[in-house]
Structures are given as C-alpha cells and as structure tokens.
Amino acid sequence: MTDTLSVPTLGLTTATRPRTATRASRPVHGDHDVAPAWMRATGAVLLLGGLALSSAVLAWPGDAPEAALLVPGVVAVVTGFLLVLARTGVTVTDDHVVLRFRPLPARRIDRSRIVDVRLVEADASTFGGIGLRRAHGVRALLLTPGLGVEITDDRGRVTFVRTARPEATYRALAA
C-alpha cells in the first residue's frame, strides 16, 4: 500500500473573473411582469391546503388512510408553488435576448437571429389561457392582458412576451 498523503501536489489556483461585466454581457434593458394578485392568492390557498392535506394524511394515527390521498395534496402543493412564483421577464443585452418564465429555465435568443420585433396587444383568449402557451405557431409568455413584444427569429419561430414596459423593451430590441 502506498502513502498518498505525502505525494506532492501542485498548489491550487483560484479562478479569476473580471470585476466588471463585459460589454457583451451587460444588460441594455430588463423588464418583467408578475402574476396578478388573484393568481398568487389562489396559489397560496392551494399551497396551504395541499400542505394541510398531506400532513393530515401522514400524521393519521393508527392505520393510515389510503396513500392515494397524498396525490392530491402533492399536486396542490406543486401547483400552488408554481402559481405563487410565476413571473415572466425579458433581458436585452448587446448579443442576446433572454426570456424567462419562472420557475422554468431561461430561453436565450441571439440578437443576430432576430428578424422582426413588434408590439402586439394580447390577452388570455388570444393564446388560449395564461402562462406558457403555444397557439397559432406562437410561443407566448403571458400572465396579464395588455401590450407585449412579439419576436420573430430567422427560423420563423415567433415568441410573445408580456412585460410591464413593452415599449421600452421594443425600443431596446429595435436599436
């Protein structure tokens, strides 16, 4: 058996990052849209109700009731959590447009691939509901009705995002 503790090793180096953001990564514009109050209230009720049901089933004395009662509790907790956290957002940098629909991962579009940007009025009936939607060939991030930005890339993919200040987002993309 060999002694591995006495083997000389090179000293660890620490990774260094630039102290300031580079020009390409600095946001030119950022905006978001939060879920309406009724959606957050519904999410809070579902979250608390699901937690109460799940804890009641798990704390049941003696023979536990059907384990299937945990399924609606867990579904209510997950749905409530998603409704409370729901938020859309867009960040425009010199090189990319980053679209966010929290809690899902962000989607990045190269600015060089964007061929058209326009302002569009939309509500829940336009895309068949609220949230992350796909209707009429358009991917939509919509929590509240109103004016939003529609982005078309060079592959023909169309994405609509609703933000609190769509005119400022449009100006940042059109520049």
Per-residue pLDDT tens digits for 57-94: 877 776 666 677 788 888 999 989 888 888 888 888 88
pTM of structure: 0.65
pLDDT (0 to 100) of residue 48: 93
Edge-first strand order for the sheet with 131-135 is: 114-122, 146-153, 158-162, 138-142, 131-135
**pLDDT tier, 7 (very low <50, low <70, confident <90, very high otherwise):** low
Distance CA 175, CA 164 (A): 19
pLDDT tens digit sequence for 34-67: 777 888 899 999 999 999 988 888 777 766 666 7
The pLDDT assigned to 20 comes to: 47
